[in-house]
Amino acid sequence: MRYVSTRGGNAPLRFTDTILTGLARDGGLFLPEQTPDVRAKLDAWRSLPYAGLAFEIMRLFADDIPENTLREIIRKSYATFRHAEVTPVVKAGDVHILELFHGPTLAFKDVALQFLGNLFEYALAKTGGEMNIVAATSGDTGSAAIYGVRGRARIRIFVMHPHGRVSPVQERQMTTVLDDNVRNLAVEGTFDDCQNIVKALFNDLAFRDANKLGAVNSINWARVLAQVVYYFYAAFRVQEATGAAHVRFAVPTGNFGDIFAGYVAHRMGLPIDKLVLATNENDILARYFDTGAYRLGDVAPTLSPSMDIQVASNFERYLYYLAGENPEALNGWMDAFRKTGALTPGIADHPCFAAGRGDTAMTLAAIRTYWQQHRRLLDPHTAVGVAVAERFLDPAAPMICLATAHPAKFGDAITRATGQNLARHPLLDALMDMPTRMTVVPADTSAVAAIITGA
């Protein structure tokens, strides 16, 4: 399998080089040259445990890694999860909840970043190289990335978060990691500022090469790939329980990474009849799927900060398919977007997407209802997904709602919704007494570059 850039300006690469490169050299995102059709394999895959299923899916895409090595990378990556099923599914009311938060940082991003850390270690040992990972986070990516690579040889990681704009727990999850290869940078700006600095550093090809930059943001194809697995796993579990031929997924969405993985699963032939995209008040994506126009707005802080995003970096991957896998057409759209802050590609004529927005009141109401009626605590991101999912229920196609974070990561929202401080987790409680380390920096690319080079 080879990977091409959405913008057509990067020679096709094998899997390992694609992962090490991260963002394509022409500024585009990597996608596989073809999507494998796995419909004939689904029945054989149904009974596999999580790691076995991950191996069968990933070997189709990572065919330059020896099979035993890939198996071992996957085994190690999911041995750190606290649940034997890795991503279990539970029923709550009319929906099924796919619990993606049993990893080391209690967020779904662990599913991809534990894998990516092991993959980088393997690839760098093989090539003898080193890497400086540069990442931006609005909260959850940072700690999951740090836990994916902490203490590993050949890798240093620089994580930028918007200073004072991530929750205290999220900040502590990052800044209590004191390994020598971890640097936390608190940027005086927004998440989009952080993300723009990452993009500027990667687009400076001389800097990028000299400093061997690597990416862990959801632009990295390995992250999408790792997330494809749980769509299969959850669909199988719910089909087993209900006998349904098709399932639906509701996905709380920020950078369009997680839901894009669902779209890849759909393209591979998993019987998903709807992917329900759920946003908070920062609803550029929901507006796009309603109107066919992708138009920039302002970022407003909400109860679900990991979705407080306007420019969804992975959306370009979807646009590439919408453009008929034609890089010229895609480049035209991206240019228009850069110049005008809007693009109007229209809506695909195969409507597997539905979309909606769950605002603060709906988020709080969903948390309250699921606690009162089903004794389930939903974190505010999950609650946005559940609130929107309820508009798209169909008895013939069970709804699977992705639970993207443990509720204890967002205890204030739980308290606000239920009137009680119900969401605790011993791992998070323990953080409060631990020493921390971070560096405050201005929202300025050269200031960050100087830290990376050690100047």
Ligand X SMILES: *Cc1c(COP(=O)(O)O)cnc(C)c1O
Residues with catalytic annotation? Answer: 109
Name the segment binding ligand X (CB under 6 A); options: 26-34, 253-261, 352-360, 419-427.
253-261
The least CB distance from residue 449 to ligand X, in Å, is 25
Binding test (CB under 6 A) with ligand X, winner from 256, 263, 289, 353: 256
The binding track of 214-233 with respect to ligand X, each residue x by CB under 6 A or -, is: ----x---------------
Q: SS3 of 342, please?
A: strand
Residue 45 host element (H or E): helix 42-45
Name the segment binding ligand X (CB under 6 A); options: 34-42, 79-87, 249-257, 293-301.
249-257
The least CB distance from residue 398 to ligand X, in Å, is 21
Binding test (CB under 6 A) with ligand X, winner from 21, 35, 306, 363: 306
Question: Is 254 near ligand X (CB under 6 A)?
Answer: yes
Question: Is 109 near ligand X (CB under 6 A)?
Answer: yes
Q: Which is nearer to ligand X, 65 or 135 (CB)?
A: 135
Question: Is 381 near ligand X (CB under 6 A)?
Answer: yes
The least CB distance from residue 255 to ligand X, in Å, is 3
Binding test (CB under 6 A) with ligand X, winner from 103, 148, 214, 257: 257
- The residues with which 343 forms a beta bridge, in sequence order, are 294
CB 248 within 8 A of CB 392: yes
CB 371 within 8 A of CB 417: yes
The least CB distance from residue 421 to ligand X, in Å, is 20
Q: Which two tokens stand for residue 236?
A: 């199988």
Question: Is 161 near ligand X (CB under 6 A)?
Answer: no
Q: Which is nearer to ligand X, 16 or 195 (CB)?
A: 195
Which among 374, 375, 378 has a CA at the least distance from the CA of 417?
Answer: 378
CB 278 within 8 A of CB 250: yes
For the residues of 200-257, what is the DSSP string, one character each? HHHH-HHHHHHTTEE--STTSHHHHHHHHHHHHHHHHHHHHHH--S-EEEEEE-SSSH
CB 214 within 8 A of CB 22: yes
CB 92 within 8 A of CB 411: no
Name the segment binding ligand X (CB under 6 A); options: 154-162, 193-201, 251-259, 323-331.
251-259
Q: Which is nearer to ligand X, 35 or 138 (CB)?
A: 138
Question: Rounded distance, CA 213 to CA 202, Å?
Answer: 7
Residue 400 host element (H or E): strand 399-403
Question: Rounded distance, CA 8 to CA 10, Å?
Answer: 6
Question: Is 356 near ligand X (CB under 6 A)?
Answer: no
Name the segment binding ligand X (CB under 6 A); options: 22-30, 38-46, 193-201, 246-254.
246-254
Q: Which is nearer to ligand X, 109 or 161 (CB)?
A: 109
Site residues (vs ligand X, CB under 6 A): 107, 109, 140, 218, 252-258, 306-307, 381, 404-405
